[in-house]
Chains A and B, each alone.
Chain A
Amino acid sequence: MNDGVRPASVRARGWGWRHADRPVPAVANLDLDIAAGERVLLVGPSGAGKSTLLHALAGVLGHDDGSDETGSLLVDGAAPAAVRGRAGLMQQDPEAQVVLSRVGDDVAFGAENLQVPPEEIWRRVRASLEAVGLRLPLDAPTSALSGGQKQRLGLAGLLAMQPGLLLLDEPTANLDPAGVLDLRNAVVRLLERTGATLIVVEHRVPVWLEVVDRIIVLAPGARNVPGGVLFDGRPEDVLGSAGSWLAGEGIWVPGHIPAVPARRNSAPGGMLLQATGLAVSRQRQANPSRRSSRFRRPGRTTPGATPGTAPGTTPGATGGQTFSPAVAGLSFPVLSGQALSITGANGSGKSTLALTLGGLLPPVAGTVAASPLLARGERPDPYRWKGPALIERIGSVFQEPEHQFITGSVLDELRFGPVKLGHGMDRVEELLERLHLTHLAEANPFTLSGGEKRRLSVATVLATSPQVLVLDEPTFGQDATTWAELAGLLRDLLDEGTAVVSVTHDSLFTEVLGGARLDLPDDGGNPPAAPVAVAASGPGTATTAGGSREH
């Protein structure tokens, strides 16, 4: 069945678009024909104008003063803005995907705008939620959904509009591996159901390889480059002829694993941080002095005591007097020169644990104690340290780089920490060089590309030379080039004796860094006794936690 959906076709002739206030067009000289029902993966280096093309096809490119369109771009032979609703667009930020507060209302929103009769809307809403695998009551609050569920909710909303053209703009960039698969499978079911045309932009080719029947590679826009289509054909042909080139441009291509230099010395050094009986939670405590009596004690967790309750949330409507920590009963050391990867399902408390180790959240129970090696005269509890004391000991890199930008230029960002500490600027120049940011020194951090933002956020934290580095999902949404640079940098830091703690879903990343892995249990499970060694890919990186060799 096809639900009455008529697949849409796309035709571009010499099409180009220049955003207002930009000297170079985002897209230029594009000639393209996509037949109704085709499934296309659109790739290209960052800056090739992929998002611009998708926005144009959805009819949402604003014609502000100063923007410039050339040639023609047609959906079903008409201008996209005139046939809005023929195309459905999904963006990468799950939070910007949800419009209304309840699941059913949100799915209905697009269909309402297309003037679908109410009875028909609710029939479509139920069918769409079923198709994307979201089995939730229609009045469930959307705020309680995970990022992956929000993306699938957005997809259900698109399905209810019955678009002939599905446009996905890096839909999996912010999702964990399980969420990526769920979303991909939902898209496949949707396409089988409706036969709609698909154009998906993604730099992780393997995710979509089995779904698409055509890959189009766009050329990067530059002043003296003609732009347009670089490669176009069946997936196996394009990857066969251009696979290496694509990998070199940072696109994840099957069979091309980015090269990372091996570690030079891999024996872990002295203990820097020790977690003992640690329980963590993001919920704020009204009265820290009474905190231990208000939470379940570590080691006495009762599995399944609050079924169906997400960890860290208040069970039931009892008024928030008691709640279970995100994860409890953790004891492990953080060692100099050793990588510690914290893994586990979504909602298992990984990020909360990282914030607690980073001295940004107080432990709910148990302790995080800095050894004299790290504390250097400060008291052992990092949460009690003042800002300057913290940043020269423990550096935390957040998942979203923009959260940590404080100033108006790349150079000022890097200088911020050292100035706080009254240090010299020698490290700043070195970091600019090492992370390839020198040419961007005067740029505003918010205008950088995704990979540049990630490199800058790591560099700003390194500028104060912390002995412990805590990173939350550092490789999320990163292209292969940034990934390899990051992994290489962290390996260098490990060689120099820094402890690197990373929360990650990226098994390749865990493998490359080596060291130890702490796998957090799902909700209600018993916590692991200790981290286990990572089966390392590099030479001599395998080691269990607990080494106590002092420097």
Chain B
Amino acid sequence: MSIDLLAPARTASVLSRANPLSKLASALLLTLALLLTVDWVSASVALACELLLLPLAGIGGGLLLRRGWPVLIAAVVGGYGSALLAPKTGAALLNWGPFLFTTGSLEAGVAIVLRGVAIALPGILLLACTDPTDLADALAQKLRLPHRFVLGALAAMRLVGVLVEEWHTLGMARRARGGGATTGPFAGLRASLGQGLALLIQALRRASRLAVTMEAKGFGAGPRTWARPSAFTAVDVAVLAGGLAITAATVASAVLLGTWNSSLS
């Protein structure tokens, strides 16, 4: 649930000790390289490296599937579509009416699946081993983003977990009033809209009370100190070097094997 996502158990994993910014930079670099080409070699190399990194982020196979299944489904659907629509080169593998798959189109489809998963995985990795509070600290202290904005967003994110619970409560409270779906095709939609509006009202009122709490605690008055100094350490050097190495291996393998297929042209 979103509550767990906001305050994940502090794990002893190596990557969770790295500064969020170095992880972000490495992930962006690799993602950018993968976006520039559509081929199965670069995607496979990147995917293999990412899977090897999973233990470093403290992610097991089960957690990966729970977090990543929507991505996997989207990638497979995208790959299937590509295989169906790609130029039909090579020998036919399946020819059944409008469904014609050739070795060439199948290769394109597989490349799309691998690439999709390889692009999404760094994001999942980053989320799993990064504490939102650490990220906010790094954004405000290292990137010098305005702390009013960063900490305000962080506090608002905490309320999201509260809202999830409130939604369930509102649903029951409205059923107890005889609200909720009854008859007609649009009754359900209308009931959900009403419930959404009620949730919005609750959210705004709570947010304004939270703003008073923050203001009363001296927030936004001027410069502040940071109880958790955001620092770069040797781990960050390793993370950046690793990110560079994986990106280089990805690009080099595709270029050397001649499969580099620029998505820009």
The reply to whether B176 and A396 contact each other, CB–CB distance below 8 Å, is yes
Across the interface, do B175 and A387 meet the contact criterion of CB distance under 8 Å?
A: yes
* A240 located at the interface, meaning its Cβ lies under 8 Å from any Cβ of chain B in the complex: no
CB distance from A83 to the nearest CB of B (A): 10
Chain A residues contacting B180 (CB-CB under 8 Å) are 387
Total count of chain A residues near the partner, CB < 8 A? 73
Query: What residues on A are CB-neighbors of B52 within 8 Å?
Result: none
Contact residues in B for A161 (Cβ distance below 8 Å): 217-218
B213: Cβ under 8 A from any A Cβ:
yes
Task: Give the residues in chain B near A58, CB-CB below 8 Å.
Answer: 216
Q: Which of A158, A398, A416 is the most central at the interface, judged by chain B CB atoms within 10 Å of its CB?
A: A398
List the A side residues contacting B62 at CB < 8 Å. Answer: 319
From the candidates A105, A113, A404, A461, name the one contacting B221 in the complex (CB within 8 A): A113
CA distance A108 to B217 in the complex (A): 10
Could you list which residues of chain A lie within 8 angstroms of chain B, going by C-beta atoms?
A: 55, 58-60, 84-85, 87-89, 91, 93, 95-102, 105, 108-118, 121-122, 125, 139, 141-143, 154, 157-158, 161, 282, 284, 317, 319, 355, 358, 360-361, 386-388, 390-391, 395-398, 400, 402-406, 416-417, 420-421, 446, 460-461, 464
- Is there a chain A Cβ closer than 8 Å to B146's Cβ? no
> Is A360's CB under 8 angstroms from B223's CB?
no
Contacts beyond the supplied A113-B220, A117-B225, A417-B177: 5 A-B pairs with Cβ under 8 Å: A89-B212, A100-B155, A108-B227, A113-B224, A387-B182
A118 in complex: contacting residue of B176, B198, B218, B226, CB < 8 Å: B226
With A96-B213, A319-B62, A387-B179 known to touch, is A109 a contact of B226 (CB < 8 Å)?
Answer: no
Whether B210 and A460, one on each chain, are in contact in the complex, defined by CB atoms closer than 8 angstroms, is: no
- Contact for B176 among A96, A358, A420, CB less than 8 A: A358
- A102: which B residues are within 8 A, CB to CB? 7, 133
| Interface size range on B against A | 35 or more
Residue in B158, B179, B217, B229 whose beta carbon sits within 8 Å of that of A110 in the complex: B217
Query: Are A390 and B175 closer than 8 Å at their CB atoms?
Result: yes
User: How far is B178's CA from A396's CA once the two chains are assembled, in angstroms?
Assistant: 10
- When distances are taken between beta carbons in the complex, the residues of chain A under 8 Å from B181 are 387
Q: Is the CB of B227 within 8 A of A112?
A: yes
Known contacts: A100-B155, A100-B158, A118-B227. The answer to whether A109 contacts B217 by CB under 8 A is yes
The segment from B91-99, B165-173, B240-248, B253-261 that touches chain A is B165-173
- How far does the alpha carbon of A113 sit from the alpha carbon of B170 in the complex, in Å? 35
> Is residue B3 within 8 Å, beta carbon to beta carbon, of the partner chain?
yes
A325–B205 Cα distance when bound, in Å, is 32
Distance in Å: Cβ of A459 to nearest Cβ of chain B: 12
Decide: B178 and A139 in contact? CB cutoff 8 A: no
- Compute how far the CA of A84 lies from the CA of B194 in the bound complex, rounded to whole angstroms: 40
Q: Which residues of B contact A420 (CB under 8 A)?
A: 178, 182
CB-defined contacts of A97 to chain B, threshold 8 Å? 213
Pairwise interchain contact A60-B215, C-beta atoms closer than 8 A: yes
Asked if A55 and B133 sit within 8 Å, CB to CB, the answer is no
Contact A157 B217, beta carbon cutoff 8 Å: yes
Residues of chain B within 8 A of A101, CB atoms compared = 6-7, 132-133, 154, 158
Residues of B within 8 A of A360 (CB): 172, 175-176
Q: Tell whether B73 is near chain A: CB-to-CB under 8 Å.
A: no
Chain B neighbourhood of A361, CB < 8 A: 172
* Closest-CB distance, A524 to chain B (whole angstroms): 24
Q: By CB atoms of chain A within 10 A, which of B170, B177, B180 has the most?
A: B177
B77 lies within 8 A of chain A by Cβ: no
CB distance from A139 to the nearest CB of B (A): 5
How far is A110 from B222 in the complex, measured between Cα atoms in Å? 13
- Among B132-171, those with CB < 8 Å from A are 132-133, 154-155, 158, 161-162, 168-170
A60-B216, A113-B217 known; A406-B206 Cβ under 8 A: no
Q: Which residues of A contact B67 (CB under 8 A)?
A: none
Contact, CB under 8 Å: A461 / B176: yes
Complex contact B155–A84 (CB within 8 A)? no
Check B206–A96 contact: CB distance below 8 A: yes
A and B contact pairs by CB, cutoff 8 A, 25 listed: A59-B216, A89-B212, A91-B209, A93-B209, A99-B158, A100-B158, A101-B158, A110-B218, A112-B225, A112-B227, A115-B222, A115-B223, A117-B225, A142-B158, A317-B9, A361-B172, A387-B178, A388-B178, A390-B175, A391-B178, A402-B202, A406-B198, A417-B178, A420-B182, A461-B176
Asked if A416 and B178 make an inter-chain contact with CB atoms under 8 angstroms apart, the answer reads: yes
Alpha-carbon distance A125/B227, docked complex (angstroms): 10
Could you give, for residues 6-31 of chain B, a 1 whenever the CB lies within 8 Å of some chain A CB and a 0 otherwise?
A: 11011000000000000000000000
Query: A391 with B176: in contact, given A109-B217, A112-B226, A157-B217 (CB under 8 Å)?
Result: yes
Give the residue name and chain of the A residue nearest to B172 (CB): A360
| A406 contacts across to B, CB distance below 8 A | 174, 177, 179, 194, 198
Within 8 Å CB of B221, what residues of A? 84-85, 113
- Which of A95, A139, A154, A388 has the most B CB atoms < 10 Å from its CB? A95
CB distance from B44 to the nearest CB of A (A): 30
In the complex where A99-B155, A118-B227 touch, is A141 in contact with B217 (Cβ < 8 A)? no
Given the interface pairs A118-B225, A118-B226, the reply to whether A99 lies near B176 with Cβ below 8 Å is: no
Least Cβ–Cβ distance between A92 and chain B, in angstroms = 9
Most B CB within 10 A of own CB, among A93, A96, A97? A96
| Chain A residues within an 8 Å CB radius of B189 | none
* A141 and B3 within 8 A (CB): yes
For A91, give the chain B residue with the smallest CB separation. B209
Q: Which residue of B lies closest to A157 (CB)?
A: B217
Would you call A95 and B213 a contact (CB within 8 A)? no
Within the complex, what minimum Cβ distance (angstroms) separates A429 from chain B? 20
| Most chain B beta-carbon contacts within 10 A, residue among A100, A115, A417 | A100
List the B side residues contacting A110 at CB < 8 Å.
217-219
What residues of A have a CB within 8 angstroms of the CB of B161 in the complex? 143
Residues of B within 8 A of A395 (CB): 176
Query: Are B216 and A88 touching (Cβ within 8 A)?
Result: yes
Asked if B216 and A112 sit within 8 Å, CB to CB, the answer is no
Chain B residue nearest to A54 in the complex (CB): B216
